Amino acid sequence: MVEKGCRILRICFLFVFMTSIGIPLVVGQEDELTLSTIKTVVIDAGHGGKDPGCHGASAQEKHVCLSMALLLGKQIEEAYPNIEVVYTRDKDVFVELGERAKIANRNKADLFICIHANAASAAAYGTETYVLGLHRTESQQRVAARENSIIHLEEDGGEKYNSFDLSPDAIIARQIQLSVFLDQSINFASKLQSEFRSIGRYDRGVKQAGFLVLYKTTMPSVLIETGFLTNPKEEKFLSTPETQKKMANSMFMAFKKYKNELDGVDDQIESSNFDEPEQITEKNYTAEDVVFRVQIATSETKISLTDPRFNGTTIFEYKQNNLYKYTTGVFVNDIKSASNLKKELRASGFEHAFVVGFLGGERINLQKAINLAKK
């Protein structure tokens, strides 16, 4: 009990320290039954009302996107009653781009899922998912430009966006500002593409582009291009109720896996009644062992691990995407104990603390880490 009390005091000290020096924290939220990372999800059905989006021979983007958005939201609500699902629109109405992001920000969403359909040549097909970033091809730039162009349908003709900077430098600066969420956005996007592949969809990959709606959100955010309405086969696929359910179910399965990973659990791990964790020192494992830790902070600048303000608490640093990331705890092949520490950290103020896995000193996908630890 004394050791546990000391650990909680150190956790509280860390929270005060990190906040005082301005380190952006990786946070999550606590629901009534479990310390779940995700409390609120905002689902954004693209276009709507006077803005039909792209179209095929008969199907319109605004309708197919709304159908899939409502199906996805229903699945999340039924599976996770304690998660609030917010829709930017639940009917055929026009919603300004800026307002869509504001809805997510006002509701303090933990995840923003934007659903669209694509347009190109009649031969184009497949599904791709975007996160905020710099486009690498002209086709990616065209997709972003098309989705951003609806600002001209707004009451002021898009005048409010005249001073909005989407230059490469501005996007890079925004990526750094939101770096605490970028890894999670890419992670969720990758899971979406994997699930789409599992139902036979052609995988066009996880991509980056300067979408206004993603630029303005302050949480992990993705924009899904579900397929091409300009391709007759794709149009039929996206406008058929049965296949819309397949797409929505794929999105839900990706959400479920993403949530479980952030929570540090999988379907085989109990969400409560964990044993008291026993941390293992850095010398007690080999390069072949899987090490679980709890990530609590990300910083653009390096912080000394021996800084006296850490008050003797052991902190581990690793660098990824030019950012310094800080973890605590060493749990060898022991996801349950890492999850227990994560719960204590969240209860002490690190609301988005999450479990990460390492192999040979390199961070690996958490589900892979869990599977390796079982062996």
Of 242 and 181, more confident: 242
Options 3.40.50.410, 3.40.630.40, 1.10.10.10, 3.40.190.290; which CATH number does 40-263 get? 3.40.630.40
Categorize the per-residue pLDDT at 135 as very low, low, confident or very high, splitting at 50, 70 and 90: very low
Contact 274, 97 (CB under 8 A): no
- Per-residue pLDDT of 3-40, as tens digits, reads 444 454 444 444 444 444 444 443 333 322 234 579 99
Angle at 181 between CA 177 and CA 182, to 5 degrees: 85
Q: How many CA within 13 A on the CB side of residue 335?
A: 28
Which strand (E) or helix (H) includes residue 205?
strand 203-209
φ/ψ of residue 260, rounded to 5: -60, -40
pLDDT(81) > 60:
yes
**pLDDT for res 60:** 95
- Per-residue pLDDT of 274-285, as tens digits, reads 333 444 444 466
Residue type, 326: Y
Written as six digits, the tokens of 22 are 């301005």
Which range in 48-57, 83-92, 142-151, 348-357 is most confidently predicted, on average pLDDT? 83-92
Residue type, 330: V
Categorize the per-residue pLDDT at 124 as very low, low, confident or very high, splitting at 50, 70 and 90: very high
- Per-residue pLDDT of 146-159, as tens digits, reads 444 554 455 555 55
How many other C-beta atoms are found inside a 10 Å radius of the C-beta of residue 67?
18
Q: Cite the beta strand spans of 61-182 per DSSP E.
A: 84-87, 111-118, 127-132
Residue by residue, DSSP assigns 110-132 as SEEEEEEEE---TT---EEEEEE
Contact 90, 264 (CB under 8 A): no
If we measure between CA atoms, which residue out of 176, 135, 356 comes closest to residue 263? 356
φ/ψ of residue 294, rounded to 5: -115, 120
Query: What proportion of the chain, given as a percentage, has pLDDT over 70?
Result: 70
- Per-residue pLDDT of 336-345, as tens digits, reads 899 888 888 7
Contact 246, 69 (CB under 8 A): no
Handedness of CA 259, 262, 267, 272 (dihedral sign): negative
**pLDDT for res 19:** 43
CA atoms of 50 and 48, how far apart (whole Å):
6
**pLDDT for res 371:** 86
Contact 38, 264 (CB under 8 A): no
Categorize the per-residue pLDDT at 78 as very low, low, confident or very high, splitting at 50, 70 and 90: very high
**pLDDT for res 351:** 73
In angstroms, what CA-CA distances link 253 with 47, 161, 194, 198, 349? 25, 36, 10, 11, 29
If we measure between CA atoms, which residue out of 361, 364, 358, 374 comes closest to residue 293? 358
**pLDDT for res 138:** 55
pLDDT(262) > 90:
no
CATH (residue range 2-28+272-374): 3.30.70.1070
**pLDDT for res 223:** 95
CA atoms of 228 and 134, how far apart (whole Å):
22
- Per-residue pLDDT of 324-372, as tens digits, reads 888 888 999 999 899 888 888 777 777 778 899 999 889 998 888 888 9
CA atoms of 144 and 149, how far apart (whole Å):
8
- Per-residue pLDDT of 167-226, as tens digits, reads 666 656 555 555 668 888 989 999 999 999 999 999 999 998 777 778 888 889 999 999
- Per-residue pLDDT of 106-117, as tens digits, reads 999 999 999 999
Exposure b/e, 252-280, CB count within 10 A at least 16 = b = bbbbbbbbbbbbbbeeeeeeeebeebebb
Helix (H, G, I), strand (E, B) or coil at 72: helix
Categorize the per-residue pLDDT at 240 as very low, low, confident or very high, splitting at 50, 70 and 90: very high
Query: What proportion of the chain, given as a percentage, has pLDDT over 90?
Result: 41
CA atoms of 225 and 124, how far apart (whole Å):
12
CA atoms of 46 and 198, how far apart (whole Å):
24
CA atoms of 97 and 210, how far apart (whole Å):
13
**pLDDT for res 4:** 47
**pLDDT for res 246:** 96
Domains 2-28+272-374 and 40-263 fall in the same CATH topology: no
Of 2 and 239, more confident: 239
Residue ranges of domains in the chain: 2-28+272-374, 40-263
**pLDDT for res 142:** 54
pTM, full prediction: 0.61
Rounded to an integer, the average pLDDT of 223-244 is 96
CA atoms of 307 and 296, how far apart (whole Å):
17
Contact 98, 148 (CB under 8 A): no
If we measure between CA atoms, which residue out of 187, 202, 270, 192 comes closest to residue 234? 202
DSSP class of 44: E
If we measure between CA atoms, which residue out of 321, 62, 39 comes closest to residue 178? 321
- Per-residue pLDDT of 293-303, as tens digits, reads 988 777 778 87
How many other C-beta atoms are found inside a 10 Å radius of the C-beta of residue 306?
8
Which strand (E) or helix (H) includes residue 48?
none
φ/ψ of residue 270, rounded to 5: -65, 150
